Structure 1
Amino acid sequence: MTIVIAEPEEPVEPEENLVWRIVKVTPEIAEAFLSQASANRRLDLGQVRALAESILRGEWRLTHQGIAFDETGELLDGQHRLHAIIEANTPVEMLVFEGLPKDVFSVLDTGKRRSAADTLYSTGAKHLPLLSSTIRHVLLLKTMPNDRWSGARARVSNDRILAAYNEDKDRYEEAVTTGRELSKHLFASPTAAALGYFVTTEAAPAADIDEWISGLKSGASLDSGDARLALREVPRETQRRGSKRRMDMRNQVAIYIKAWNAWVEPGKAGELRLGRLRKGEKMPTPVELKFIR
């Protein structure tokens, strides 16, 4: 690849006082840097926790984004990264810039934040918004099934989403394709259907998945007690925006899993209730059905 850089009409001299270096920033150094802050933005604690968790998982990478001080020594950029180092109590390497003009503060971090779908773009996968949403919710279901999947605690880094995709890309792509199709016949959103499909087939690969899918799509010749028929009859209004009966993602997935469990093990299902999780009710766990070796 050839990169052509246009020459400026007038020579551009670098800032005389601008210096940069790679520093292993410890929690103690982070505290010292933060003591030099003055006009930084309001602290987003959710962003701090997300960065700290990324550090603790070993996902931190040295990039061009680091810490910046102006010519007077005041901290211009990097307060969330510094607070995250303190929160994680773990040192990381980052670039530290000193001597920036004070007037650059107004243009720092004004670009569009990279989304998870943007991160997955290089993989060549299809339906990127749905794919990234599905992976994010699979991770949330596995790590915090009984907590809300919104707010600061439910943030999932782009690195985690990309790593999860690379570990199981075929199954994620299959789940997205199936979820898009199932959502045409069920109350569930494409993400909820894809998520439900992913976690149930992961737990029960020996189940007759084709029969499950065909029954949900057509509804033909299903007995009145068939869990697939019950799932098809859940009102579609439960996922529409503005609907008083609209369900959040956790409840949609819980209903899908309950129906799947009742279909895989009808003798253990008892009375099938496909509704919102009751207060204090935990997310159901998909029934396991493994191949016998």
Structure 2
Amino acid sequence: MSTLAELFGLDSNASTDDLQQAAVMLPDIRDYHAVPVSVTPEIAGHWLRRNDSNRPIRKKAIAQYVNDLKSGNWQQNGETVKFGRTGRLLDGQHRIAAIAASGIAQSMLVVTGVADEAFDTIDTGRRRTSADVLIIEGTGTFEARIAAAALPMIMNYRCGLLPHSSTRYPNHELLSCWMGDAQVRTSSQFVAKLPHRMVPISRAKALFLHWAFSWRSPSAADSFMDGLFGGDRLEKTDSIYHLRERLLLDRLDRRASHDGAQLHACIKAWNAARAGKKISSWRPLFPASNESFPEISP
């Protein structure tokens, strides 16, 4: 591994301005080198001009990287910035754009002299999903897949958003939620053991609901999910009975039901059960067009 000073024949005590100018010229090095660089927003701006015929910039990716930089959650994972022999930026455009946009410098390992024809082989591997990250942490595959789909709902709810909002969270934030909230893991284990035949809702939604309900009453949360998935000992005036009937009928008829509508109905059924309220139909549970998302009763 080389240093900027060595590549450009600078004194070991070279000034910051000299090193910055060397970094700006680094893409012009045609030989293969790996060089650690403190990439400032100014350097990033110069390097982005080398971004020729790369993939379209994804604004969401840049916004997430900027957020990570500003919040101190930026992770050094060994990925490099790569320049071709012609000085073309081959890999790292989103990370570099985030440094330019955030105004925050970041240390990066830069590789020069990569054959430009190797561009098609860069970044073709599948990115790790949140389920992959949970599996690496020791969670079983089945449970990890359920949790990966439920964690965004839990994090939305904790942030005051609707649980079914389409907010995306990076893997390290999802993992932090998983590791930092014991109730999430308890609910995940409970939901994974529920009956597997004719499930009324997805296990991810069940995990979110069990987690949210458990903060009110763990035993009542268990009973609610047991009734919803198993159907045992339900009376025809129970809110859970009518909720289960409607959800199963939707599945049998292959009727699509909005995620928010299902969660809305489940929460209203919980609220009715907690209040001891008897109902005779599923209709009061599902939302009207102008109805706000319900609060969860204690």
Task: Using structure 1 for the length normalisation, give the TM-score.
Answer: 0.76
Equivalent-residue separation in structure 1 for 2:120 and 2:198 (angstroms): 50
After TM superposition, the structure 1 stretch with the greater mean CA deviation from structure 2, 247-256 or 112-121, is 247-256
Q: Which moved more, 1:69-78 or 1:107-116?
A: 69-78
Q: Which runs of 5+ in 1 are unaligned?
A: 1-14, 289-293
Work out which of the residue numbers 104, 109, 123 in structure 1 matches 2:137.
Answer: 123
Alpha-carbon displacement from aligned partner over 1:137-172 (angstroms, at most 9, x marks no partner)? 22233336348644xxx2221111111111125632
Shift of 1:206: 6.2
- The answer to whether the 8 Å contact 1:33/1:75 transfers is yes
Q: Secondary structure at the match of 2:295?
A: coil
Residue from 52, 55, 61 that aligns with 1:47: 61
**Which among 38, 43, 49 is matched to residue 35 of structure 1?**
49
Task: Tell me the equivalent position of 2:245.
Answer: 233
Q: 1 or 2 for the larger relative contact order (CA 8 Å, sep ≥6)?
A: 1
**Counterpart for residue 167 of structure 1:** 180
CA contact (8 A) 1:34 1:82 kept: yes
How many residue pairs get aligned? The number is 266
Unaligned runs of 5+ in 2: 1-28
Change (3 A) 1:220 1:181: closer
TM-score (norm 2): 0.75
Q: State the partner residue of 1:189.
A: 202
Which one of 181, 190, 198 corresponds to residue 177 of structure 1? 190
- Which of the two has greater helix per residue? 2
Residue 220 of structure 2 aligns with which residue?
Answer: 208
Change beyond 3 A, Cα 1:23–1:117: same
Q: Distance in 2 between matches of 1:206 and 1:63?
A: 39
Secondary structure in 1 aligned to 2:50?
A: coil
The equivalences for 1:132-147 within 5 A come to 132-143=148-159, 145-146=161-162
Q: Does 1:252 align with 2:262?
A: yes
Q: Check whether the contact 1:183–1:189 (CA below 8 A) recurs between aligned residues.
A: no
Structure 1 residue 57 displacement after superposition? 3.4
Shift in Å, 1:208? 3.3
Deviations 1:191-214 (A, max 9, x none): 111111111212x03663344344
1:36 offset after TM fit, Å?
1.7
Per the alignment, do residues 183 and 197 of structure 1 end up closer, same or farther by CA in structure 2, a change over 3 Å counting? farther
Amino acid at match of 1:129: R
1:273 paired with 2:289, answer no
